Structure 1
Amino acid sequence: MLDGPRLAPLSGSKPNALVILIHGYGSNGDDLISLAAMIQPALPDAAFVAPNAPSQIPRMAAAHQWWPIETFSMAERAAGAASAAPELDAFVTQELDATGLSSDRLLLVGFSQGTMMALHVGLRRPDPIAGIVGISGMLVAPDRLEADIRSRPPVLLIHGTEDDVVPFRSMDLAATALTAAGVRVETHASPGVAHSVGQDGLVAATEFARRSLLP
């Protein structure tokens, strides 16, 4: 079963919301929990968890992956996301059950390969979650979305204009496909930012999280 670093609510109270952060290829939960620490002051009653992906990259002890990247093909991404989805989906259910929270109190935040997982899993859960923040990622298998989608939580896509790993145009391609499927989408371009989270992107993500989760 997946697990990773956690942050309890800053307020010290029982959590009234849950934020699950999903890291990218070659990273780990410790990397994204630092992002959670920057969002946390805006959501003092929320719990945060950043699970480590299920497999490690060979000969790289702290580097995890949701699926191996070998060809960078659309088919590889589609197969990889589909194979990793059940374990992440089960983790989401487990965390909601453990906190006693309903799906509408859950926000998924993904980075790169983690964005692909957040969108893949979040849109296929039957009960709508509060929202999805996708940073520097893309929508996997957009041609299957109309047939597979089961709920339509609001989505914020954030992408650096100078991303040399996942092309900047991936944001608009994802937004177009999501909008066509009836999903409410917001986009935020980070000028001059490469494959990372800029300060302006962090501000946008925090504001979206506040709107999605504050009562």
Structure 2
Amino acid sequence: MTESLIILLHGVGSNGGDLMHLGDIWREMLPGATLAAPDAPFVFEGGRGRQWFSVAGVNAQNRGGRIVAARAAFDATVQEAIDRHGFSQAPERVALAGFSQGGIMALDALASGRWPLAVVAFSARLATPDPLAPAAGSAALLVHGEADRIIPARESEAAAERLDRAGVRTELFIEPGLDHTISSEGAMKAVDFLARRLGTRAHA
């Protein structure tokens, strides 16, 4: 029986299929979970793949505005996955798990209060403009490599502080020596978090 839905959100220049190897592992370890990995709505200007928002000329000053502008297309993508898998009436059984830009959008969805879902963010940052307005009971796991050269680990540390202040139940895992990727240890941290948040028993 399908008990929960986990929506995987890829990074910039990638696509949903690139994360399904992770979905296959999680499907084995989280019985009853359905895994969906949609493509982002926009074509990546820098080459092949898709993106949730443009990174051309992006900086700390304009990133928040780009995320806000991307919300409608992001929400439509997430809603389509929820509807297709039959969870429209059970949002508490849905979680978002995003890597890099996908994690940025997942954290924005939670921090803005648009989606009262559990969120796992790998190698991401919280670029949502203030004020944050998460739904009551929101929870997030932030996983980041200490040696990340694309998005520094301090971004997840700063995100954890902001989310904590906003009332989000936040867990942070910084993995020593890891660059901009998802490790097996980080993936297992996410399995434990998702099992607890979705009420699913994890299998070793």
TM-score w.r.t. length of structure 2? 0.89
Question: Map of 1:72-111 to 2, 5 A cutoff?
Answer: 72-101=58-87, 102-111=90-99
- Offset of residue 150 of structure 1: 3.9
- Offset of residue 138 of structure 1: 0.3
The equivalent of 2:183 in structure 1 is 198
The 1:57/1:96 distance shift into structure 2, 3 A limit, reads: closer
Instruction: Give the whole-Å Cα distance in 2 for the aligned partners of 1:127 and 1:112.
Output: 19
- Of 125, 130, 152 in structure 2, the residue corresponding to residue 138 of structure 1 is 125
Between the aligned residues of both structures, percent identity stands at: 34
Residue 115 (1) aligns with residue 115 (2):
no
1:171-207 deviations in Å (ceiling 9; x for gaps): 1100000001011100111111100011211110111
1:45-68 deviations in Å (ceiling 9; x for gaps): 11111111111123733x111111
The 1:152/1:87 distance shift into structure 2, 3 A limit, reads: farther
Q: CA RMSD in A?
A: 1.8
Q: Which segments of structure 1 move beyond 4 Å, counting only runs of 4 or more?
A: none
1:20-44 deviations in Å (ceiling 9; x for gaps): 0111111110111111111111212
Q: Secondary structure at the match of 1:156?
A: strand
Residue 64 of structure 2 aligns with an amino acid whose one-letter code is A
The equivalent of 1:189 in structure 2 is 174
Q: Secondary structure at the match of 2:130?
A: helix
* Conserved 8 A contact 1:22-1:110: yes
* Conserved 8 A contact 2:13-2:51: yes
More deviation in 17-26 or 70-79? 70-79
The equivalent of 2:36 in structure 1 is 49
Instruction: Give the whole-Å Cα distance in 2 for the aligned partners of 1:66 and 1:23.
Output: 9
The equivalent of 2:134 in structure 1 is 149
Q: Secondary structure at the match of 1:143?
A: coil
The equivalent of 2:4 in structure 1 is 17
5+ residue gaps, structure 1, are 1-12
The equivalent of 1:128 in structure 2 is 116
Instruction: Give the whole-Å Cα distance in 2 for the aligned partners of 1:179 and 1:208.
Output: 17
Q: Secondary structure at the match of 1:141?
A: coil
- Of 148, 165, 189 in structure 2, the residue corresponding to residue 163 of structure 1 is 148
Instruction: Give the whole-Å Cα distance in 1 for the aligned partners of 2:46 and 2:108.
Output: 28
Instruction: Give the whole-Å Cα distance in 2 for the aligned partners of 1:141 and 1:126.
Output: 12
Q: Secondary structure at the match of 2:62?
A: helix
Residue 140 of structure 1 aligns with an amino acid whose one-letter code is A
* Conserved 8 A contact 1:43-1:214: no
Instruction: Give the whole-Å Cα distance in 2 for the aligned partners of 1:84 and 1:124.
Output: 13
* Conserved 8 A contact 1:138-1:174: yes
Residue 68 (1) aligns with residue 54 (2):
yes
Residue 37 (1) aligns with residue 24 (2):
yes
Instruction: Give the whole-Å Cα distance in 1 for the aligned partners of 2:56 and 2:46.
Output: 16
More deviation in 52-61 or 162-171? 52-61
